[in-house]
Amino acid sequence: MNKDPFKEYLRESEPDKVNKGYAWSTAIGLQAVDGLKPSQYLIDTAIQNIEGKITIKEAQNLIDNYYEERPVHLSDDERTEEADKVSSRIAQILSETAFSFSPNEYISIHRKLFQGIYKHAGKIRDYNITKKEWALDGATVLYGSASELKATLEYDFSQEKDFSYKGLSMEEIIHHLAVFVSRLWQIHIFGEGNTRTTAVFFIKYLRTLGFSATNDIFAENAWYFRNALVRANYTNLQKGIHETTEYLEVFLRNFLLNEKNELHNRNLHISGLWNDEKVDIEETKVDIETEKVDIGNVLAEKGQDFSAKTTVHIHRLSEKFGYDKIFGRSAVMELLELKASGASKLISNLVEADVIEAVSGYGKGKYRFKK
């Protein structure tokens, strides 16, 4: 599962599908900066929204309800829940046109993304932080001092607001944008979720400058983006290392100008050496193209009008079992993470709708999809 999850939609000729595909692709890809991976349920729900079967608000409600119904919340589940909920919220924000270039907007985006997930959502941190960075071989960037965060943030915004891009070459524009976003990120006014918030804000800001790139650069290179921010804010004269925006500028050239420069995380490591034991987050992307099935045609032929949630369940079941494999209630519970009562009700509805049929010879309560 190495491909961009929404590449098919980014190739669509319909503008609405392209924009939705880009929003979801970017939203899901950005989870990689914190080592998170959304669930298959989130992917399936995103498909429903892109294809116009449900609204973005309905998609968010499905995700919220999905986690309210889950009987157990383990630590891994909580991280997946964060990835799913934040992905849907990023997709919504990127789908909106409203935006104001201000510190309050920046803080507001963090609150919208992480409300109910972090207690400090939308709050400026009041403690100093360090982070061991892979790109720096375990060293940390010097982040903004807690006592100066608000003043520093307001200063950077005022400087950017007063800056004029008039008469600049594209090379100069991209360099300036790289400096601005790297400084904004380095302040690190939030305890967690700083990179995702900065990326969303930056994309919205770029639109106000006339850039409308709807490609898969953030989706496929979110980890590179973060490492480039790290390298833009680290200096170690003893080791001959200087902060540089060169990596960010290459990223932005691909993003804004559709150039095809190679983006490899190994190039950002300060040692210049790649440790093969390290896991490159770029290898963990989900391929949505392989998840698409033809069950929608089957439902249309049978004249069924299921809810969006049930339709997603049917997609997942049909992809897993196809027409030939036999399954029972326990398999449905495990795949869809439903309680016994929920799985039984779903099976009953699908049998009644003539979508699946009971089969004999495999024990009691076994079913398969009808051809």
pLDDT for 191? 92
Q: What's 122-270's CATH class?
A: mainly alpha
- Residue 1 to residue 286: CA distance in whole angstroms: 5
Q: What angle do CA 349, 355, 356 make, to 5 degrees?
A: 85
77-87 per-position pLDDT tens digit: 668 899 999 99
pLDDT for 216? 81
pLDDT for 273? 45
Of 195, 185, 155, the C-alpha closest to 245 is: 185
Q: Do domains 122-270 and 295-369 have the same CATH topology?
A: no
pLDDT for 29? 92
CA 243 to chain centre: 28
pLDDT for 71? 53
Fold of 295-369: Arc Repressor Mutant, subunit A (1.10.10)
- Contact assessment for residue 356 and residue 347, using Cβ atoms and an 8 Å cutoff: yes
Which tokens is 205 given? 């800001």
- Residue 254 to residue 157: CA distance in whole angstroms: 25
pLDDT for 195? 96
pLDDT for 111? 97
pLDDT for 75? 42
For 327, list phi and psi in degrees, rounded to 5: -145, 160
pLDDT for 77? 64
Q: What angle do CA 243, 248, 254 make, to 5 degrees?
A: 160
Instruction: Report residues of the chain scoring pLDDT below 70.
Output: 1-15, 70-78, 272-306, 308
pLDDT for 7? 57
- Contact assessment for residue 40 and residue 292, using Cβ atoms and an 8 Å cutoff: no
- Sort 8 into a burial class: Cβ within 10 Å, 0-12 / 13-18 / 19+: middle
The domain segmentation of the chain, as residue ranges, is 1-96, 122-270, 295-369
pLDDT for 70? 67
